[in-house]
Amino acid sequence: MWLDIFQKFKASGFNAISVYFFWSYHSPAEGVYDFEASGKNVQRLFDYAKQAGIWIIARPGPYCNAETNGGGLALWGSDGSMGTLRTSEATYYESWQPWVAQIGALIASNEITKGGPVILSQIENELQETTHSATNTLVVYMEQLETAFRAAGVTVPFSHNEKGERSMSWSTDYEDVGGAVNVYGLDSYPGGLSCTNVNTGFSVVRNYYQWFSNYSYTQPNFFPEFEGGYFTPWGGSFYDACTAEHDPAFADVYYKNNIGQRATLQSLYMAWGAAAPVVYTSYDYSAPLRETREIQDKLSQTKLIGLFTRVSTDLLKTYMVGNGTGYATSSTGIWTWEIRNPDTNAGFYVVQQATTSSQASVTFSVNLDTSQGTISVPNVNLNGRQSKILVTDYNFGSHTLLYCSADILTYGVFDKDVLVLYLENGQVGQFALESSLNSTQKIYGSSNVTATPSAGVTTFTYTQGAGQTVVEFDGVLIYLLEQKTAWKFWAPPTTTNPDVKPNEQIFVLGPYLVRNSSVSHGVVHISGDNDNSTTIEVYTGNSDIQTIDWNGIRLDAKKTYYGSVTARIPGASDRTISLPALDNWRSADSLPEKNPSYDDSKWIVCNKTTTLSPVAALTKPVLFSSDYGFYTGAKIYRGYFDGLNYTTVNITASGGLAFGWTAWLNGALVGGNVGNASLTTTNSVLTLPTSSLKTSNNLLTVVVDYHGHDETSTAKGVENPRGILGASLIGFSASNGTSSTGFKLWKIQGNAGGSSNIDPVRGPMNEGGLYGERLGWPLPSFVPSSPQFGHSSPFDGLNSSGIEFYTTTFHLDIDSDLDVPLGIELSAPSETIARVMVWVNGYQYGKFVPHIGPQTRFPFPPGVVNNRGLNTLALSLWAMTDAGAQLDTVQLIKYGQYQTDFAFNQDWSYLQPGWNKSRLAYA
């Protein structure tokens, strides 16, 4: 789906995408690297970016943070074998060198200077330079990284991201003792918004200009990460409830505020996000592009700013003229930034409420300095959390705006210059253009427009009406758009160069999305997506256009009086989408390991008495899962002991925030910990029932869930061990010759093949150690058969503790010209204490924990699912108490439906390798 995502951002005025490359994803084991398997084909990603006409800012780490597993560090180093992380220490240096050499070579071969899309490469991530000394280990580390990437052939500028205004790191303009990058960057997440209270937060930061002036004054002002939303934690609110984070006003106020402070590069974090282990399954982030790949209003508003900056090249060289409360305005309730281009004298006044959280409607006048003197413009209105960029001496094509109090969306150079402005319905706009004595204007639309000529300038004053109004004047065409109408305005380029010029566009109004456009033989070809049937309007400047081709559908075009063409395009709202019911389930026990009769002779014996981990084992032998080559997913332990006189067992386990674990004695539940949203490690002392004890060979089976390895924001980071940290029996006599813990033997089992990555397509983090996972039950072409599999469903569930696997198949028959983002919805009866995982065609795509929450809906994209054809669905249901567990909802859902010509329906078999009998070896 990368091409789909890139095209949506390009259409929204973005010219670059910042992309992480995770060491953990490409290197399942030390010395093993994969850049070619389907999901890891980095070259394909670069090719898609070039095809979409978008640049790449590469972020290859080796540490990325990103709320990803271990911050992106290779998980094979989670056993402590990588040394002292993120320093110049020799062991760590030797660990990351091969990664940088290989990913660096791929980045180098795709640089802009070689015809590729890569324009910047970020070194490390939010590494704070705490000591400005050439011999400091962090300075040496940064020097090592830069040398290694240059040795790999990378020649584009290096960048880095300061972790907020907390330190002054790696700028050539501030105490450069080594390790400085070419382009300093500052990350900022100023929103402070609440998921449930839209009245909180919304206070912009107004010292960015001063910060950059102090610490990177010779460089462009760069935000490598600026807030595009935020993640919510286990046990919190789901993203759909975070209405404040989804508000398009956020983009309107915050991003324009940055323009007012002379920002010249801004990257949104996240612009689009997907699953991450530090939070619950989804990392939608309330981002402008939803995890389902759907455009949200916040992206539509961001597009208005993106298309404005794309053509407003005067913003690339400005100086600060002045700023402050009441500056250049009649109201002390308004804050203004005035910046100006020293070469063209084009001025930009960014106005916002002094208290940006205010939801009041404020009207004021602004004093604008123009080439014809200072002009006072009345009736400028900010409706609550709104911002505007007013311009002076703004050149567009062969014309100049003396001033304008409405927001400019964009302009294009066609057979005539076309200017596009937007306001909210009912707001007043005013602009002035040079004119001749006999200039006339024609007005089409609902807005009330008045033209007043005077001394070679004609001033237009208008009240924005619903929809659109078009003004023809003196060789200029001016679209006056209501803001919500502007959200459906597109300017698809006629070039694949990310640097789009004003004469390399077509203007389109109406559809949900426009991906591409071109003109040939009197036909304008438009590729895009559309939800509701609507009128499309296209301006090409070509008077020969008679036909609009929308997604291959030829439509007779009607010409407007002002030179555009219109037609009616289909949507998808009237299309019937039938999603099948999920039935015909087969089920099988996925925890035979709790039974003493289970054969674990092939399991790994936990026999290590020392560990490289910086965290000490609480008991011996060491039971850390990474020490035995199992990094991701659930782990299963079997501990043996003799004797009847043990009363309790003390277990400490770790698996990441909200993980849980359960223990059984000789098949009988003894307890565990059901999980805590704020704890990565938990401890419990469990009572051992005398009725379940035997004289010899007692078996304690412990299943430990896994929610990822820590980032380095948590002490020890990825090296914080997972699995069992310590286990001791209590109530025994040490004279019986057993070890100090009472256990005589421990064995461990994890994901099938451990670090050997037996499913490279889905990758090293897709599977865990549950019995059904190891045997490949979620994989396409696996056929459940009797007597192992019965016919119960998740609605029947379990009547006691345990883990059950459920599988079924379903067919989809979605029309090939539709994009229907799909997902699965789960629910369970109240008081259910359970853990559920979801697999679609072998991809683990959801973790449902009803007693912690919040997520109940889990999207999955085409490629993972076949829109037309057979699909395999699997669920694991882990009942954590003897009350058992069942589900009361398991159903496919659609998030929307869009008519499209994107190839969502294709042969995805290369992404969906199936089951084979080699899996039986992992029983």
Tens-place pLDDT, residues 202-217: 999 999 999 999 999 9
The one catalytic residue in 129, 162, 225, 291 is: 225
| Interhelix angle 137-151/90-108, nearest 10 degrees | 40
The pLDDT of residue 734 is 43
Percent of the chain with pLDDT over 90: 94
Give me the amino acid identity at 844.
Q
What band does 735 get if pLDDT is binned at 50, 70 and 90?
very low
The pLDDT of residue 42 is 97
Percent of the chain with pLDDT over 70: 99
- How does pLDDT run across 759-770, given as a tens digit for each residue? 999 999 999 999
What band does 738 get if pLDDT is binned at 50, 70 and 90?
very low
Q: In 763-886, at which residue ranges do the beta strands (DSSP E only) sit? A: 802-813, 818-819, 822-827, 834-840, 843-848, 857-860, 868-879
Determine the Cα–Cα distance for residues 141 and 89; give it in Å rounded to an integer.
8
Report which of 813, 833, 827, 877 is spatially closest to residue 857, judged by C-alpha positions: 827
Determine the Cα–Cα distance for residues 227 and 237; give it in Å rounded to an integer.
18
8 Å CB contact between 71 and 63: yes
Determine the Cα–Cα distance for residues 880 and 615; give it in Å rounded to an integer.
28
Give the Å distances, CA to CA, from 621 to 249, 639, 704, 763.
57, 11, 17, 30
Average pLDDT over residues 290-311: 98
8 Å CB contact between 750 and 768: yes
Determine the Cα–Cα distance for residues 558 and 761; give it in Å rounded to an integer.
49
Instruction: Please give the DSSP secondary-structure letter assigned to residue 709.
Output: P
Judged against a pLDDT cut of 70, whether residue 243 lies above it is answered with yes
- Min mean pLDDT across 64-68, 178-182, 434-438, 532-536 is at 434-438
8 Å CB contact between 866 and 873: no
Judged against a pLDDT cut of 70, whether residue 802 lies above it is answered with yes
3-state SS class at 875? strand
Report which of 40, 17, 9, 63 is spatially closest to residue 764, judged by C-alpha positions: 40
Helix (H), strand (E) at residue 364: strand 361-370
Determine the Cα–Cα distance for residues 258 and 350; give it in Å rounded to an integer.
9
Judged against a pLDDT cut of 90, whether residue 72 lies above it is answered with yes
- How does pLDDT run across 346-383, given as a tens digit for each residue? 999 999 999 999 999 999 999 999 999 999 999 999 99
The pLDDT of residue 46 is 98
- How does pLDDT run across 39-49, given as a tens digit for each residue? 899 999 999 99
- How does pLDDT run across 808-855, given as a tens digit for each residue? 999 999 999 999 999 999 999 999 999 999 999 999 999 999 999 999
End-to-end CA distance of the chain: 35
The pLDDT of residue 739 is 57
Judged against a pLDDT cut of 90, whether residue 2 lies above it is answered with yes
- The pTM of this model reads 0.97
Query: Apex CA 821: angle with CA 819 and CA 825, to 5°?
Result: 155
Judged against a pLDDT cut of 60, whether residue 166 lies above it is answered with yes
What band does 535 get if pLDDT is binned at 50, 70 and 90?
very high
The token pair at 792 is 């119960």
- How does pLDDT run across 542-593, given as a tens digit for each residue? 999 999 999 999 998 999 999 999 999 999 999 999 999 999 999 999 999 9
Average pLDDT over residues 52-60: 98
Give the Å distances, CA to CA, from 67 to 161, 477, 724.
16, 47, 23
How far is residue 202 CA from its own chain's centroid?
22
Judged against a pLDDT cut of 60, whether residue 732 lies above it is answered with no
What band does 736 get if pLDDT is binned at 50, 70 and 90?
very low
The pLDDT of residue 550 is 98
8 Å CB contact between 8 and 288: no
- How does pLDDT run across 614-673, given as a tens digit for each residue? 999 999 999 999 999 999 999 999 999 999 999 999 999 999 999 999 999 999 999 999
Instruction: Please give the DSSP secondary-structure letter assigned to residue 252.
Output: I
Average pLDDT, the chain: 96
The one catalytic residue in 126, 146, 291, 719 is: 126
Average pLDDT over residues 513-526: 97
Determine the Cα–Cα distance for residues 432 and 493; give it in Å rounded to an integer.
28
What band does 737 get if pLDDT is binned at 50, 70 and 90?
very low
**Given the structure tokens 């035979």, which residue do they identify?**
592
Determine the Cα–Cα distance for residues 140 and 177; give it in Å rounded to an integer.
10
Average pLDDT over residues 708-728: 95
Asked about 504 being catalytic, the answer comes back as no
Helix (H), strand (E) at residue 535: strand 534-539
Q: What is the largest CA-CA distance in the chain?
A: 111
Asked about 593 being catalytic, the answer comes back as no
